[in-house]
Amino acid sequence: MTLLRFAAMVSIVVAQSLSMGGCGILLYSHYPSQVTVRDAETHAPILGASVSVFYPYMMELNLPKVASVVTDQQGVAKLSVADLDFQIWRFNASGYVGQEQRRGGTPPQEMSIDLLRDPPKNGDPLPKSN
């Protein structure tokens, strides 16, 4: 009898959670995604760039964890991304202007991101163009 009562209570809690606006259970799968981060001018790979995916949902019972990895010597980051409708992708590297993209649905299997170098600070000489 105790197991039956417990199951009934869990059912009531889940039903109430689902009936509250914005509070419920997300259904999603994870997909592998490979991101190559390159210098926008030279197209050279950027070692140590950060690639992160956030999911801007609130009051959900089973949010996926933030996916965050760093690129290898080839500028490649491999991560597992949930196929939710709202995803925020962030790309950052030291000495570069970061990027943010909003995406949704099934994540790309492969993608490339080109980052621009930080602008020179006052007093710094401009980089020479070839």
Least confident of 27-31, 61-65, 72-76, 108-112: 61-65
- Name every residue whose Cβ is closer than 8 Å to that of residue 13 and which is 6 or more positions away in sequence: none
Residue 22 lies in a domain: no
Residue 44 lies in a domain: yes
pLDDT digits (tens, 9 = 90+) for 26-56: 888 889 999 999 999 999 999 999 999 998 8
pLDDT digits (tens, 9 = 90+) for 67-92: 899 999 999 999 999 998 899 999 99
Buried b (16+ CB within 10 A) or exposed e, 14-52: eeeeeeeeeebeeeeeeeebebbbbbeeeeebbeebbbb
Residue-range definition of the domain harbouring residue 94: 30-115
Strand partners, 95: none
Residue 124 lies in a domain: no
Residue 6 lies in a domain: no
Write out the two tokens for 120: 């020179």
CATH no. for residue 106?
2.60.40.1120
Residue 2 lies in a domain: no
- Name every residue whose Cβ is closer than 8 Å to that of residue 115 and which is 6 or more positions away in sequence: 37, 38, 39, 40, 46, 49, 91, 93, 96, 97, 98, 99
Instruction: Report the number of distinct structural domains present in the chain.
Output: 1
Residue 69 lies in a domain: yes
